[in-house]
Amino acid sequence: MTRCLITCASAFTAWCVMAQVPADTLYNQTLDEVIVTATGADRNLKAAEMGRHVIGSDAITRLPVMFGEPDIVKVLQTLPGVSQGAEGFTGLYVHGGDNDQNLFLYNGLPLYHVSHLGGIFSSFNVATIRNVDFFKSAFPARFGGRISSITNINMMAPDFERYTGKFTIGLLAANGYISGPIVNDRLAFSAAVRRSWIDIIGLPALAVANAIQKKNGKKTIASYNFTDFNARIDWKLGGGKIYAIGYYGHDYLKFGDRTFEATNKNLTINPDGTISSLPADGTRFFDEDTNRLSWGNWGVSLNLDHRLGNGFLNVSAYHTSYSSRYRQQSEHQSDLSDDSTYDNTLNSTFNSISDFGFNAGYMQQFERLYLLKTGAGYVRHNYHPEGIENEYVNSLQHWSDSNGNPSVRADEVYTFIDNLLNFGERASLDLGLRFAQYFIHGESFPRLEPRAYVRINVTEDYSVKASYARMSQFVQQVSSNYINLPTDPWQPVGVNAKPLLSDQYSFGVYGNLPRGLYFSAEGWYKSMRNLVEYREGISSLNPNLTWSEKTTTGKGWAYGVDLSVTKETGRLTGTVGYGLLWNWRKFADLNGGVKFPAKFDNRHKININATYTLNDRIEFNAGWTYMTGNRLTLSLYNYDEPGDNFPDAPTTGIGTSGFDWEQASGLDYYSSRNNVRLPAYHRLDLGMSIFKKLKNGGRTIWNFSIYNAYCHMNAMTIRKDDFVGPDDESRSFQKFSLIPIVPSVSYTYEF
């Protein structure tokens, strides 16, 4: 029996058996056929798709990363046409889109928020991953639900013949993976656990710090941990198999501070010369502010892969759930001996999504001329988009306010057909069509999404391709920050908001170069409609405002060029990529109705990633990134309040009532939205891996890496001073940077 990797780039590259789940999954099938898979150069030249990147687990682990944690999203951020957002975080802004416009599928399970540590790294355990299919242009018809990209993460199948495993210890987390047979060649399993130990390591240091602060009446409250769990069971059947998958990922964060009356500050000298340990009135006080944030995904799926006639059938049922809760609590008591001096303020937000889905798909190859893929599915969505609760308690009153934590149900049905026609080795044409209909609040939103891409081989070493794809999205997450947080609510479409819609056109030239190099050059244009943003001057946490009162809709468009040159053979391998991007937005209710650049309008982006294999024991890795800075809205001028002498000029501090330093700052003047560009971003990452083979057939790996090797402090934002004193007649602006040089080390044992 030979395992078939179902990832053929096109039917003529090799006689490749493909069986893809309609909405969403690319999977393994154990068959008798021996399958030949295409190299990256063959896929680049001969596949009809554009903007597709297939990334193996080895490539993910090679990239030097912060804290030594291999990360799928950090690898995707290095691709042309993909912006990373804020430094160090797992934002993904593809071809001018927003972070919520990317669909992440873990073997068919849709996941809504895929980051740990507030976005420092993603929720996917690399130890469980075989490869990743990333689509940013020509989306196959089987995929839907997002308008910018599809990240299809394919889980490793269990080993039916022997036990294998991998254990890794890094700076932030420990990771274990094991796989093996339950019944030889019939039933097998795999399981992986990853858990951070920041809270365990930091506990002694926090205790020491609080012991030192105690004499000053202060205490720091801090705790963080995350946990991932992945499991899979496969059962072989005649002509196919059944397999079940489980995923769990959760984060918990607590931080705050407490001030209280310290003993050494309570010493009082009495009239008779004695010293009391309490003040004369005998009171003590405390003031504590605590923030708690928890978020995570979990899901299960049951899948059947079966040979049906000359084709292959896949049937899948799944349940997936995401939730986030943030609690901010402030407690105060001015006299511990008097309960009437106690008061407590609690603010809480909650949002969640749970999906139950079913889909079925069929694929059949008709010789080498025609490949058919078709399928249909249904999803029941349950949303709690924005629960807000505020509460205040003291001895005299108990006040509370909430929006009732509204819930929304929605139903989605879809069907698709994809037709790949091969005209010999010279050309191929893929015509696809997806139909989706969304039902919510008694409203129906039908959407027809045509897809098409064509490839023509000009010579044996050069080809040209063109594609068009329409995508729809029925839910979106709105953020007022540069970092997408778990607290940002997911909102389904409704009467006041239509589904997101994008149309993307692409054209590219591809070819093989001497010395084992190959290149791609893709030009693209993307339009986006029904985008949602917060209105200006509106508090997103106000429970008295409806969602439609807080937000407004508009459109966006982006265009650019993606260039890359890749080398896959020899001791030195790697990729040089360049992206050129223009990214615009226009909202009738924002910026006076005038178009403005998006936050991540990164004009130029360069990535150089290289691996040098010295021998079978030592490997060096390096990555350099340059990117035009993000944009932000900043007040560069101030003007006097109405009635002052110079209402249109920078403030003088001189008004009709004379000079007043308290009002000298004046009012902020914003010329336009996203009017300032941050300084250019760049950094160098270095890594080295040392491999050692063991007598039992296993091996160990030491990995050393340096993130931001030359310690360039990249600007995350710019802050403007809020006060002008008598001796300071001009404003100052301060650059805020976060991440310096970060060395990391990890140890892995494989068997």
Using the CB atoms, write b or e for 105-135: b if 16+ within 10 Å.
Answer: bbbbbbbbbbbbbbbbbbbbbbbbbebbbbb
What is the spatial distance between Cα 472 and Cα 658, in angstroms, rounded to a whole number? Answer: 59
Across 98-111, average pLDDT:
92
Over residues 636-661, the pLDDT tens digits come to 877 766 555 444 444 444 444 454 55
Domain containing 140 equals 2-635+670-750
Comparison of pLDDT for 676 and 271, the residue scoring more: 676
Lowest mean pLDDT among 23-27, 186-190, 713-717: 23-27
**Percentage of the chain with pLDDT > 70?**
85
Note whether residue 505 is domain-resident.
yes
Nearest CA-CA partner of 369 in 15, 19, 18, 34: 15
More confident of the two residues 325 and 489:
325
Residue 738: the pLDDT is 83
Beta strand 311-333 with 342-366: parallel, antiparallel or unpaired?
antiparallel
Does residue 342 sit within a domain? yes
User: What distance in Å separates the CA atoms of residue 475 and residue 352, rounded to the nearest whole number?
Assistant: 12
620 by Cβ neighbours in 10 Å (0-12 / 13-18 / 19+) ranks as middle
Query: Residue 321 half-sphere exposure, CB side, CA atoms within 13 Å?
Result: 10
> How far apart are the C-alpha atoms of 111 and 87, rounded to whole Å?
23
Q: Give 572 or 405, the one with higher predicted confidence.
A: 572
C-beta of residue 383 within 8 angstroms of C-beta of residue 410: yes
Q: Is the pLDDT of residue 16 over 70?
A: no
> Which has more pLDDT, 677 or 268?
677
Q: How far is CA 40 from CA 371, 401, 453, 554, in A?
A: 21, 58, 19, 39
Q: How far apart are CA 359 and CA 536, in angstroms?
A: 41
Q: Is residue 61 part of a domain?
A: yes
Is residue 649, in this structure, part of any structural domain at all?
no
502: in domain: yes
With cut-offs at 50, 70 and 90, classify the pLDDT of residue 431: very high
| Average pLDDT taken over every residue of the chain | 84
User: Mean pLDDT throughout 510-522?
Assistant: 94
Can you tell me the distance from the alpha carbon of 293 to that of 119, in angstroms, rounded to the nearest whole number? Answer: 13
Q: What is the pLDDT of residue 233?
A: 97
- Asked whether the predicted pLDDT for residue 502 surpasses 80, the reply is yes
User: Under a CB-based contact definition with an 8 Å cutoff, are residues 218 and 258 in contact?
Assistant: yes
pLDDT class for 7, splitting at 50, 70, 90?
very low
Q: Kindly report which listed range (49-58, 296-305, 455-464) carries the lowest average pLDDT score.
A: 49-58
State CA 232 to chain mean position distance. 24
How many whole angstroms separate alpha carbon 9 and alpha carbon 16? 9
Q: How confident is the model at residue 563 (pLDDT cuts 50, 70, 90)?
A: very high
Compute how many other C-beta atoms are within 10 angstroms of the C-beta atom of residue 751: 15
Q: Closest Cα partner for 681 from 624, 620, 614?
A: 624
Distance from C-alpha of 359 to C-alpha of 22, rounded to nearest angstrom: 7
Residue 655 forms part of a structural domain: no
Query: Domain total for the chain?
Result: 1
At residue 9, the pLDDT reads 31
Query: Could you give the CA distance from residue 516 to residue 411 in angstroms, rounded to a whole number?
Result: 50
Q: Can you give the pLDDT at residue 18?
A: 31
Residue 657 lies in a domain: no
Read off the DSSP letter of residue 603: -
Instruction: Please tell me the predicted confidence (pLDDT) of residue 465.
Output: 96
For residue 74, give the nearest of 600, 609, 457, 658 by alpha carbon: 609
Task: Give the pLDDT score at 652.
Answer: 45
> Dmax over Cα atoms in the chain, in whole Å?
107
Instruction: Say what the pLDDT of residue 105 is.
Output: 95
**Residues 508 and 464: beta-carbon distance below 8 Å:** yes
CATH code for position 459: 2.40.170.20
- Tokens found for residue 587: 């909202």
Q: Distance between terminal CA atoms of the chain?
A: 23
Of residues 204 and 598, the one with the higher pLDDT is 598
User: Between these two residues, 197 and 3, which has the higher pLDDT value?
Assistant: 197
> Is residue 175 domain-resident?
yes
Amino acid identity for residue 189 in this structure: F
Question: What's the pLDDT tens digit per position in 532-554?
Answer: 888 887 766 666 677 777 888 99
